[in-house]
Amino acid sequence: MQECTLAANDLACRRGDRLLFRGLSFALAPGGALQLTGSNGIGKSSLIRILAGLMPAFAGTVQREGATGLLDEKPALDPHQPLGKALGFWQQIDGPEDNQMARLGLANLLDVPVRYLSTGQKKRAALARLLGQRAPIWLLDEPLNGLDTKGVSLVEELAAEHCRGGGICVIASHQPFAIPGLTRLELREFAA
Amino acid sequence: MSAPLLTLLKRDLRQLLLGGRRGGATLPVLFFVAVAMLYPFAVGPDAPLLARTGGGVLWVAALLAAILPLDRLIEPDLELGLFDQWALRGISEEAIVAVRVLAHWLSFGPPLMLAALPASALVGIDGAKLRVVELGLLVGTPGLAALGVTVAALTAGLRGGAALGGLLVIPLAIPLLVFGAGSLATGGESGLALTGAVSLVLLAIAPFAAGAAIRAGRR
């Protein structure tokens, strides 16, 4: 896996007139894992999008080296396509991937149109897309939403494997998340 | 064209030209022919009048037909998070938009030019005029495609974006209509050349304007 680092220096985020957080800093080396916790609306998803470079920070900088994979509530799979073809579209861009479908519990669903999949199955499909991208930095926004207990432990397993392989993992979730070497960062309300 | 963009073009064509359940290219073509069919009913069987005004009506029909797929151009992919994933893979919004303009044009420009053959018979314009209409559509529809994608990107995510997009396209398409339909009256190359010039300007602006609009929409 290619070298990767992810660091945030004194980040602040503003949505509309509200300052969500400020003075947020951390640095992750290869193999590092960070869980962002905090109450709803505190800015976890905004922080993930800032880290991904999809949204500008109100203040502060992000240093990111290495390709970034994002898993959020949008699966980015064509709803009218069968799952196999929808994932195949990303394989054509990211390169062919090793077959993880059985492990993700998707092997029997490949000819089912994406719009018929349940929330948890869509999440698993999005995980397949993320794995296929082979990006060293993973940004996971509420990765456990809609997953059953087996799915939850699968995500933890995949994240742990990813970090063992020298990848970086940032997980925004208020649910408990257990992987070795995980540090936690609680986003606190900024009292203006 | 690099491999990811070719993949994007294939996907865009599957969505816009074939369209599956959402109709693809059939809806604009049927709309275009329907206007050409209804016009003689409304004006009456006055052959010289039809022949004189038919070309202009075909141009208006083509312009309105190009508006129909507007809400499918950008918004669904934004909602699915596809643009975010492309951005993370380093595919620029400008490149995506350029590919989409090409796919959008392929899915309504050539089909409308084909549909103009039966439509010209319905409004009774002769061969020479049909040639000018076809050439005009050939140079004018790329501009309409660029304009459509730009406006779709600007209005994506707005409430009532589709209706607003349609209304925005109409005034911006007036230069194309003036020169395109105007070339029928003069029957000359100058009108066609000006139509092509307007098209080129729109094509040059579209990727940057629409790309900036998509990025601004993320904030």
The string of DSSP codes covering A108-146 is: GGTTSBGGGS-HHHHHHHHHHHHHHHT-SEEEEESTTTT
Which chain A residues touch B80 with a CB distance below 8 Å?
Answer: 74-79
Name the residue facing A55 among B3, B89, B219 (closest C-beta): B219
Interface contact B2, partner A, CB < 8 A: no
Q: ipTM of this predicted complex? A: 0.89
| Chain A residue with minimum CA distance to B218 | A55
| Interchain proximity B89–A70, CB inside 8 Å | no
Q: What integer is the mean pLDDT of A84-104?
A: 84
Please answer yes or no on whether B218 and A49 come within 8 Å at the CB atom.
yes
pLDDT of residue A23: 86
Residue among B184, B76, B66 at smallest CA distance from B125: B184
Report chain A residues whose CB lies below 8 A from the CB of B82.
76
Report CB contact under 8 Å: B218, A68: no
In order of B47, B139, B172, the CA distances from B198 in angstroms are 32, 9, 11
Distance from CA of B47 to the nearest CA of A (A): 47
Q: Where are the beta strands (DSSP E) in chain B?
A: none
For residue A105, name the pLDDT band (cuts at 50, 70, 90): confident
pLDDT(B166) > 60: yes
pTM: 0.90
Per-residue pLDDT, B25: 84
Strands A18-28 and A33-37: unpaired
A92–B87 CB contact, under 8 Å: no
For chain B, the maximum distance between any two Cα atoms, rounded to a whole number of angstroms, is: 60
Q: State the pLDDT at residue A18.
A: 84
Query: What is the C-alpha separation between B85 and A123, in angstroms, rounded?
Result: 15
CB B154 within 8 A of CB B172: no
Name the residue among A56, A69, A76 with its Cβ closest to that of B81: A76
Higher pLDDT, A190 or A155: A155
Choose, out of A74, A127, A139, the residue to mutate when testing the contact with B (most B CBs < 10 Å).
A74
Give the one of A55, A70, A74 whose C-beta lies nearest to B88's C-beta. A70
The mean pLDDT value for B64-70 works out to 89
- Report the candidate in B104, B145, B123 with the shortest Cα–Cα distance to residue B58: B123
Mean pLDDT, chain B, rounded, equals 89
Is pLDDT of A192 > 60?
no
Question: Which candidate, B132, B129, B61, B73, places its Cα nearest to that of B105?
Answer: B73
> In this predicted model, what pLDDT tens digit does every residue of A28-81 receive, in sequence order?
888 888 998 888 888 888 899 999 989 888 888 898 888 899 998 888 998 888
Residues on chain A bordering chain B, Cβ-to-Cβ distance under 8 angstroms: 49, 52-56, 67-70, 72, 74-80, 89-90, 92-94, 129, 133, 135
Q: Is B9 on the interface with A (CB under 8 A)?
A: no
Whether the predicted pLDDT of A191 surpasses 60: no
Q: Does A74 sit within 8 Å of B7, measured CB to CB? A: no
Q: Greater confidence, B83 or A98?
A: B83
Q: Under 8 Å CB-to-CB from B85, ≥6 apart: which residues? A: A70, A76, A90, A129
What is the nearest CA distance from A20 to chain B, expressed in angstroms? 14
Q: Is B18 on the interface with A (CB under 8 A)?
A: no
Cα-based torsion angle of the residue sequence A40, A8, A147, A149 in order, rounded to the nearest 10 degrees: -100
- Chains A–B, number of C-beta pairs less than 8 Å apart: 55
Give the DSSP H/E element, type plus range, for residue A149: helix A149-164
Residue A15: predicted pLDDT: 84
Nearest to A76 among B3, B7, B82 (CB): B82
Query: Domain segments of chain B: what residues?
Result: 3-216
Q: Could you tell me if A22 and A47 are in contact, meaning their C-beta atoms sit under 8 angstroms apart?
A: no
- Return d(Cα A124, Cα B165) in angstroms, integer: 36
Q: Given this model, what pLDDT does residue B99 score?
A: 95
Specify the pLDDT at position A1: 59
CA nearest to B84 within chain A: A54
Check whether A88 has a pLDDT greater than 60. yes
Q: What is the pLDDT of residues B127-145, one digit of tens each?
A: 888 999 999 999 999 999 9
pLDDT mean over B114-136:
90
